[in-house]
Structure formats: C-alpha cells, structure tokens
Chain A
Amino acid sequence: MKVRIDKAALMVPLYRAQGIVDRKTTTNVLAGVHIVAGEDGLTFAATDYEVTIAAEVSADVTEPGAVLVNGRALFDAVRALPDGATLQLSSDANHRLLIEAGRSYYHLNGFPPEEYPTGAMDEAVGRSILCDKSQVETMLKRTLFSVATDDTRAALCGVLFEIEPEGPGQARLRMVSTDGHRLSKAERTIAAADYDGTKHRCIMHRRGAAELLRILEGSDPSVRIEFIGRNIVFSSDKARLQVRQIEENFPDYSRVIPEKGDVSITLETSSFASSLRRVSSLGSSRDNTVRLELSEGHIALEMTFPEIGTAHEELEVPEWKGARLKVGFNPKYLLDVCSVLSTDNITLELSDQFSPCLLHSDEEPGAVFVIMPMRL
C-alpha cells in the first residue's frame, strides 16, 4: 500500500480508535488498528469485540493494500510529527508500516492484516433511525456521568437507551443511567426520519457511550441509530460505531424517581455550584458530606474536614416552599448535576433526610436527576 494524507485528516480516525485499542498488550491483534487503502481513501477499523469502530477518510491512494499496526504507537507517532505535514504511508512485505514526513520517518512493526477479525462489524440491515446529533449528544452528556464505574453490577455499567414511537416521523428517545446512589434521566421527542415505530430498549456500556461522544464531536449534523441483533450501531461523520448491549435487566428506574417533594427550593444554578465548590475546596473530607440546612428563604451549606476545619456558606433562596430540613449529600453528585444541566435555575425537591432528592429545571422538562442523601 502507498498513500499520501495530511496529518490533520489522519489524526481524526486514529483518535477515534484510541478508546478501543488494547493498551495493555502490544502483541495482540486487538491492540492493532486495521487500515485498508482503497480507491477513494482509507478505512480504519478497531475492535475489542465489545466495541467496534470503523471510520473512513479520503486520501491520495497510489497503491491499494492493508496493514494491521499497533493503534497506540501509530497515534503517538503521527501526533508527534509537525502540524500541517503531509505524510506518506507505505507498507512492506513484512507487514511493516513506514510513515514519512520530510526528513522524519517511523517504521512500525505490524501483524498480517488478514488476522484482523473483519467480521466483528455487523452489516447494516436497513432498519435505522436518523436523528439530530445535538439532541443525542446533549442527552448522552446528561446521563453518562452517573454510570456505575465499578463492574460489580453489570446492568448499571451502561446507559439505558429507550426509543418509542411518538407521532409520525417522531420518536421519544430516553436515556437513563444510575450507579445505585444517583440516577439521571434525559428524554426528548426527536425528529426521527426512517423510524419504523419499533420499540427498542437496551443498555449500552459506558465505554461504548464514551466512544459515541467522540464520534458526535464531528461536523455531521445527524446520527443514524441501528439495532442489529445484540448490538447497537451509530453512524455519523463517516464513522460507524458498534456497541455490544449489556444483556442484563436495568433496574426499574421509574420506581425511584419521586413525583415531587414536600420541600422545594429553586436556586440560581451557577451560584449554587460556586457555593458547593467553595465549601468542598478544603481538600477531601473523610466523610465527604456537605450538610445542607434549608430554612425559609435561605440555605446553608457546611462541610467539616477532620483536623483542618469547617467551611460554611449561605445562599438566598428566592423560591422556597415547605418545612425546614437538614440533609447531607456527596457534594460531587450535586456539582455534577449543576454542570450537566446547564440551565439558569435548578430546583431541588426533598421529602426528608432519608428519601431521594429530585433535581430538575423548568427550562429543561425532559431532564431529571435523583440523588440519595448520605445517612447522617
């Protein structure tokens, strides 16, 4: 194979493959990125069987061919070359890839390209849903952060996707995530061209969801979603991402989302977040708890750090209803919601210091968050 391509163009598919190539070993074909040079350009593929990605990029191909080289090394090599450089890629009979830019060159060892499991990517079956990328991206950002990060409860390790029909050319898309301590739900009615009305429900592993966010960074305004067997496949911006579903039962989230609370306060999101950041700035408190004291018209935030001291802050609450209440939370959980909700105001609804707290904003009716308090 022999190809000429700009560094910037080559970086895009290599960057997208980074989350998938196996970093632990260098001798495994799964650590490799499979590059095929065809008439119109290059096709990149990488897989760990759970997540598979394919991306296309146009290039000046003088001699077609294929290579399978370590994805991490290739990314590092290309990134280190001067910006704006035009690169020459060529392979030899020993599966080695030569990357040349001016007077620099890299020689990367490779595997026989036919060892790459090309069957890892499902063929399109024709049934797909085309939707607005920014909608999907916003919803994903509002849910991905509260996915469980330890693998003890498999069902919680991903974002739940639900799609239901809602009027002609439209669909109700819902994403839910929980780590057992907090829960996020984002739902919207979206324009969904080509949607055949089939209901879908699946859990997408957090790794696949993170890769999806990378793909959505591209310039393509839409994303195509397909449900193929055990996989969910996203296509956007000349890239195709396939994620194996987590075949577990997602917990009944509707049961733990409170309707509303006896106490309801509405605050300016940015000042609430600033206060939280200030009271939690003294380092890590061992019990990691911000104590909120709600009384008429204002809220006090306090955090105690053993051997260091105490941080205290008070905020006016313009909209307030209900009784006085003292309740503790992990400050990070509250801050996370403030930052992903990105609305001017945020409403907290509580019943007592043991029951889940509901967070939402009138500006974003589809997004609700639930946080369990710390038991003091």
Chain B
Amino acid sequence: MSRPASTWPRIIVHADMDAFYAAIEQHDRPELRGKPLLIGGDSPRSVVTTASYEARPFGVGSAMSMVVAKRKCPQALIIPPRMHRYAEVSRQIMEVFDTFSPRVEALSLDEAFLDMTGAERLFGTPLDMAAAIKWAVRERTGLCVSVGVAASKYVAKVASDVRKPDGLCVVEPQDTLNFLHPLPISRLWGVGKRGEEQLRALGLATIADVAAADPTWLRGVLGSMGDHIYRLAQGDDPRPVVPDREAQSIGAENTLDEDVRGAAAIRPHLMHAADRIAWRLRRGSLAAGGVRVKLKTNRFALHTRQVALRPPSQNAGDLLDAALALLEHFDLREPMRLVGLAAFDLRDLAAPVQGELFGQGKRQKQQQLDAALDKLRERFGKGTVKRGSDV
C-alpha cells in the first residue's frame, strides 16, 4: 500500500505503451490476437519497428533486421506499418495524459512523463493515479500501457519497464535504493551494450555495485559518465518534467550499441533523432530557430556544434539538413559512441512570422515535397520513401 502521497517530494509518472504498433494491429484486427507479429517492411533492408509479445520469446526485438527476425521466428506474420493509424491512436493517448496533468512531456508517439506532484487530492495516492491512467488509456483506446511511478524521471522510467507488459509499479521514495540496486547495470540510463561490457570489465554487474563504488574512481575510469551513473545509482535524478510548450530546447540522443565512424554511419541516427524532435515540435506547435548536434567519441570527449535555422522550422527534413551540414564541422575520424540532436530557440508557431521577399517559391516547393513525403510515410511507414541521396 502506498503511504500518504505527501511524503513524496515529486510524483513522476512514466507511461509507456506495450508493443504499441503491434498492439494496435491486434486491436484493430482480432484475427491477429495471440499471434506473433513483426511490424515492418518485408524487404531485405527493412527492420522490425515493433514485435508483438508473442514473437519476443523467439529473441526478436525492434530495430532488428527483418531478415534475421524471420529466421528466428519463421511463423511470425509480417505486417506493414500504418503510421497514420498509429499517430491517430497516439493523439488519443496524449489527450488522455493531458487530462491528468498540465505537465506532460511526450517523448515519442507512445511514451510520456507526467508530473503529478500535488495531484493527490484529485486522484488519490500514486498507486491510484497509476491505476486511473491505465484504466483511462484502456477505456479510450482498448490498449495496455505500462506505468511506473517514482520520485524522479529515471526511476519512474525503469519502474514502467520492469513489469511489462501491462505493468504497474510504484516505487516509494524510501524504497528507491532497494528497488534499483538488484537491477543489472544495463538499466542505468545511458549505458548501452558497450558501456555494459566496459562496466563488467571493471567488476560492476548490478546498480548496487555502482552505488558502492568510489565516485572518484568511477570518474577517473569513465570520465563524466562515471558521475552520471553514480548519481543514477543513488536514485538521484533532479531533471524536471518539461512540457514541450515550455521547453528551451528539445533533444534526442542515443548512446549506440556499437561505435560509428564517419558521416554516413552517423546520418541514420541523426535522421531518427530529427524525426522524433520534429514530432515533438509539432505536438507543441513550436518551430526551432536553431539546431545543435552533439557527438561523443569513444574516449568520452563531447563535441557540440550549432547553427541557426532560418526560417525556423518544425520539419524533420530541415532539422536533418542543418544537422548534416553541421557534421562537416566535426572531426569525424574518431569513432563516436553517442549521437545527439537538439532543437533550440523554440518559437511559438502561432506567432506571426516575418515574410520573405526572395526564395518564397523554392521554400513553398520544399514544403509541398515534405507534406507529400509525410503523407506517404503515414500511409506506408517510415522506410517507404527515401531521398535519392539516401539510397
């Protein structure tokens, strides 16, 4: 049983839809229920965007190449994605979240943080809140969402994941360390496959091992990453939930399973980040006046470059073009372990925009092209259309 919520310094909810695309397909087409599904294209270059829970015991997961996934789970049904439908359901989910808190930070189509601090009188204990959110999402969409509640974003995110699918996990503030410490180090935010190997080589297997380590030594061997994971292992994550409308910047970054080297290898990660950021900009009716690229080398040296975006844009293609141009200003000879992109100088899209005397025609054509590409992607999925330069 939850204690009185007033002992919580903050109440942070992380809500994450279970196998989102696959769940929608199974909901919309009852004949698919209980069957292993792989959502994605069926060409040699396609990847799995989502695998249903029925397919996961076969070792299939998202981002896996479709060819490999088919080999592991030959009986799986391959379903081409219907992005417009997923976006529609996503809007419904976000509307549900918005009824629970004014402070919703949407991370992607199917995942969000809600700051529910001070909402005890409306919704009861954190456990009541989590149950109410799960119920409301199921009521509206017929889908399951896993919910984690904790006093920080990091712990809430881990909590939503540990009991998936249909999970509900409330981590009382005083239980934070008991909850975190038995978990493997891969649960630390920012620790990927490579980081895991690195930490294991140092004799660290669980979060408890990291928490018990000497922070000075950690910093010595891992640099700023050492500080970061030490703090997380103490359950210390002060980052606030920032609704996109209020954000100073919106970023997406990815610590990679394997280091990448060179612009061509970095490009797909930037493209993915640009897509996510553009989606969040659109959700907040914002346009970015600047773009920042962040790269971390395998020796943990962090490099950033930024550029103004004129005119401001909320379009993934514009963000990507600016990011790719920035890549030329980095030394790309070193392998990179992290690729990040952020949009900053955010402006209200409803605000008046100064008209341009020249290049209006070119810009309009670009917008028409983008709109057409968006439509194609919505109908046939992300991988269907590519710019000629990407092939």
- Chain A residues closer than 8 Å to B352, beta-carbon distance: 287, 289, 328, 374-376
Pairwise interchain contact A181-B351, C-beta atoms closer than 8 A: no
Cβ B355 vs Cβ A256 within 8 A: no
What 0/1 pattern do residues 351 to 372 of B give for CB contact below 8 A with A? 1111111110000000000000
Q: Are A152 and B310 in contact (CB under 8 A)?
A: yes
Residues of A within 8 A of B354 (CB): 181, 330, 372, 374-375
Question: From residue A65, how far is it (CB to closest CB) to chain B in Å?
Answer: 48
| B 92-134 to A, binary, CB cutoff 8 A, 1 in contact else 0 | 0000000000000000000000000000000000000000000
Is A182 located at the chain interface by the 8 A CB criterion? yes
| Identity of the chain B residue whose Cβ is nearest the Cβ of A355 in the assembled complex | B355
Within 8 Å CB of A180, what residues of B?
356-359
Cβ distance A354 to chain B, nearest Cβ, rounded Å: 7
Nearest residue (CB) in A for B358 is A251
Which residue on B lies nearest to A289, using beta carbons? B352
Question: Which residues of B342-391 have CB atoms within 8 Å of chain A's CB atoms?
Answer: 351-359
Contact in complex: B358, A375 (CB < 8 Å): no
Would you call A182 and B357 a contact (CB within 8 A)? yes
Does A13 sit at the interface, judged by CB under 8 A? Answer: no
**Chain B: interface residue count, which band?**
10 to 19
A178 is an interface residue with CB less than 8 A from chain B: yes
What is the chain B residue whose CB lies nearest that of A182? B357
Nearest-Cβ distance from residue B235 to partner chain A, whole angstroms: 38
CB distance from B343 to the nearest CB of A (A): 18
Q: What's the least CB distance linking B290 to chain A, in Å? A: 13
Say yes or no for A370: interface residue by CB 8 A criterion: yes
| A 283-313 binary contact with B (CB < 8 Å = 1; else 0) | 0001101000000000000000000000000
Q: Among the interface residues B351, B352, B353, B357, which one has the most CB atoms of the partner chain A within 10 A?
A: B357
Between A and B, how many residue pairs show CB distances below 8 Å? Answer: 42
Determine how close the nearest CB of chain B comes to the CB of A256; give it in whole angstroms.
Answer: 5
Q: How far is the CA of A251 from the CA of B361 in the complex (A)?
A: 14
Beta-carbon contacts of A165-202 to B below 8 Å, as 1s and 0s?
00000000000001011110000000000000000000
A354 engages B357 (CB within 8 Å): no
C-alpha gap A178/B358 in the complex (Å):
10
| Chain A residues within an 8 Å CB radius of B310 | 152
A370 lies within 8 A of B357 (CB): yes
How far, in Å, is B105 (CB) from chain A's closest CB? 23
**B367 to chain A: closest CB distance in Å?**
13
| A32 interfacial contact with B, CB 8 Å | no
Are A374 and B356 closer than 8 Å at their CB atoms?
Answer: no
* B contact residues around A328 at 8 Å (CB): 352
CB distance from A307 to the nearest CB of B (A): 14
B353 touches A178 (CB 8 A): no
With both chains docked as a complex, state the minimum distance between the C-beta of A173 and any C-beta of chain B, in angstroms: 23
| Chain B CB within 8 A of A113 CB | no
For the complex, give the distance between the alpha carbons of A330 and B354 in Å: 8
Contacts of A372 in B (CB 8 A): 354-357
* Residue contact A256 to B358, C-beta cutoff 8 Å: yes
Whether A181 contacts B356 by the Cβ 8 Å rule is: yes
Q: Is there an interface contact between B357 and A374, defined as CB atoms closer than 8 Å? A: no
Rounded to whole Å, the gap between the CB of B307 and the closest CB of chain A is 10
With the chains together, A289 CA to B353 CA distance in Å? 9
| Inter-subunit contact B358/A373 (CB<8 Å) | no
Contact B358 A374 (CB under 8 A): no
Residues of A within 8 A of B308 (CB): 152
* Interchain nearest-CB distance for B289 vs A (Å): 13
> Would you call A356 an interface residue if the criterion is a C-beta within 8 Å of the partner chain's C-beta atoms?
yes
CB distance from B245 to the nearest CB of A (A): 14
CA distance A375 to B287 in the complex (A): 14
Q: How far is the CA of A287 from the CA of B357 in the complex (A)?
A: 19
Q: Could you tell me the distance in whole angstroms from the C-beta of A280 to the nearest C-beta in chain B?
A: 14
Once the chains are docked, how many angstroms separate the CA of A330 from the CA of B351? 13
| A145 CB → nearest B CB, Å | 16
Q: Which of B352, B353, B354 has the most CB of A within 10 A?
A: B354
Residues of A within 8 A of B359 (CB): 180
Interface contact A356-B357, CB-CB below 8 Å = yes
- Bound CA span A289–B308, Å: 22
A253 to chain B, nearest CB (A): 9
Complex contact A183–B355 (CB within 8 A): no
Q: Which residue of A lies closest to B351 (CB)?
A: A287
A330 to chain B: which residues have CB within 8 Å?
354
Instruction: Give the CA-CA distance A183 to B351 in the complex, in Å.
Output: 23
Identify the closest chain B residue to A286 (Cβ): B351
| Residues on the A chain within 8 Å of B357, using CB | 178, 180-183, 251, 256, 356, 370, 372
Distance in angstroms between the alpha carbons of A375 and B360 in the assembled complex: 13
**Taking the nearest CB of chain B, how far is it from the CB of A183, in angstroms?**
6
Q: How far is the CA of A374 from the CA of B356 in the complex (A)?
A: 9
> Chain B residues with Cβ under 8 A from A373's Cβ?
355
CB-nearest residue of chain B relative to A183?
Answer: B357
Could you tell me which residues of chain B, from 50 to 95, have a CB within 8 Å of some CB in chain A? Answer: none
Please report the C-alpha to C-alpha distance between residue A356 and residue B356 in the assembled complex, in whole angstroms: 9
A contact residues around B353 at 8 Å (CB): 374-375
Which among B351, B352, B355 has the highest number of chain A CB atoms within 10 Å?
A: B355
**Complex Cα spacing A354 to B356, Å:** 10
Bound-state CA distance A235–B341 (Å) is 52
In the complex, per-residue mask of B294-330: 1 if CB is within 8 Å of any chain A CB, else 0: 0000000000000010100000000000000000000
- Set of chain A residues within 8 Å of B355, measured between Cβ atoms: 181, 354, 356, 372-375
Chain B residues positioned under 8 Å from A354 (CB to CB)? 355
Interface residues of A in 322-376 (CB under 8 A from B): 328, 330, 354, 356, 370, 372-376
Q: Which residues of B contact A251 (CB under 8 A)?
A: 357-358
Residues of B within 8 A of A182 (CB): 357
Question: Could you list some 22 contacts between A and B, CB below 8 A?
Answer: A152-B308, A178-B357, A178-B358, A180-B358, A180-B359, A181-B354, A181-B357, A251-B358, A256-B357, A286-B351, A287-B352, A289-B352, A330-B354, A354-B355, A356-B355, A356-B357, A370-B357, A372-B355, A372-B357, A373-B355, A374-B354, A375-B352
Q: 8 tightest CB-CB pairs across the interface, nearest first?
A: A372-B355, A374-B352, A287-B351, A289-B352, A375-B353, A256-B357, A251-B358, A376-B352
Contacts beyond the supplied A182-B357, A256-B357, A372-B356: 6 A-B pairs with Cβ under 8 Å:
A181-B355, A181-B357, A251-B357, A372-B354, A372-B357, A374-B354
